[in-house]
Amino acid sequence: MLNEAQHDYYLEQLRIARDAAEREDEMLDFNAVLDDEEYIVSVEMAGQPIGPTDYTDVANGYHPAPLGVAAPFDLETAKRSFEPYGERLVEVKSKAAALRVKDDASASIATAMAGNVKRLSKSIDEQRKKLVDKPNAYVKSVNSMAKMFIEPASQIERLLKDKLSGYHAQRELERRKQEEEIRKAQAELYRRQQEEAKTANVEPPPPPVPIPIKAETVTRSDTGASAHVRKVWKAEIVDAAQVPREFCSPDMKLINEAVKGGIREIQGVRIFEDLQTILRT
């Protein structure tokens, strides 16, 4: 037998299909569907006949969608449910383009047309919600469950990356100390060589070439994972008042709030009155 969730799913899909049929003044045969919960009658889906459902399939949770009933994530069925709206929009668009609003009578017609289009838009959005509400709820639930595990994993990753960054920073400090020690030793050697050359009245040798110590920036593991560090220049604001003007951008949210509050003059801003049409249906 169908479980409660499957039964509710089919009833919901039948309701959606019935609503779509009524919008098109079409009638579908719903009487043959779900008469027996232990058996799903043969139907035609996308023009392909589907034979009677095998009881093994039913036991395994497979149930073909009845005619006019959208299977989960069936884009073709969803597309068909929106087609009547597309036809109406083409018709209304043509009439709207041809309409000239030149007097009270034509303005009344335009208002009526706009109201109808707004209602049509709401109907389209309601149909969209019917199709996506349950999948969206499922996706939201799965995302919430996954987030419970992703966040701790991310925290552990950040913890280890911070420790690796600290380790590499310490290694970089030691590398610079070694380079400084080598530089000082080379400078001392060169100083003595100059003194000896002066005593011997000979030309001193050329200055020593600094010996750089290669920085090891990659750490590898036996598992194949690796971590590397790179130097990135960053910036942070310590005194906003001293930041040059070219690095600042106007805050339109604050400007609009000021204008709504009655401000009518702001240097560098054009404040003007605009006309907006508000529709109520």
Would 156 be classed as within a structural domain? no
- Note the pLDDT of residue 231: 82
Q: What domain count does the chain have?
A: 1
Residues written for the chain: 281
**42-46, 81-85, 200-204: range with lowest mean pLDDT:** 42-46
Mean pLDDT, to the nearest integer, of 246-269? 94
Domain of 112, in residue numbers: 4-127
Would 257 be classed as within a structural domain? no
Would 75 be classed as within a structural domain? yes
Long-range contacts of residues 241-249, Cβ cutoff 8 Å, at least 24 apart: none
Would 133 be classed as within a structural domain? no
pLDDT at residue 53 above 70?
no
- Note the pLDDT of residue 68: 45
CA dihedral (23, 27, 31, 32) positive or negative: negative
- Note the pLDDT of residue 227: 85
The 10s digit of each residue's pLDDT in 184-241 is 888 888 888 888 888 888 888 888 888 877 777 788 888 888 888 788 899 999 999 9
CA dihedral (64, 68, 72, 76) positive or negative: positive
- Note the pLDDT of residue 279: 83
Would 14 be classed as within a structural domain? yes
Is the pTM value of this prediction over 0.85? no
Percent of the chain with pLDDT strictly greater than 70:
74
Give the pLDDT band of residue 63 (cuts 50, 70, 90).
very low
Would 103 be classed as within a structural domain? yes
Would 150 be classed as within a structural domain? no
- Note the pLDDT of residue 176: 87
Mean pLDDT, to the nearest integer, of 17-27? 51
Average pLDDT, the chain: 78
- Note the pLDDT of residue 260: 94
The 10s digit of each residue's pLDDT in 136-177 is 999 999 999 999 999 999 999 999 988 988 888 888 888 888
Please list, in sequence order, all residues whose beta carbon lies within 8 angstroms of the beta carbon of residue 258, skipping any fewer than 6 positions away. 266
Please list, in sequence order, all residues whose beta carbon lies within 8 angstroms of the beta carbon of residue 46, skipping any fewer than 6 positions away. 76
The 10s digit of each residue's pLDDT in 89-139 is 998 899 999 999 999 999 999 999 899 899 999 999 999 999 999 889 999
Query: SS3 string of 108-136?
Result: HHHHHHHHHHHHHHHHHHHHHHHHHHHHH
Mean pLDDT, to the nearest integer, of 24-34? 38
Higher pLDDT, 27 or 70: 70
Would 271 be classed as within a structural domain? no
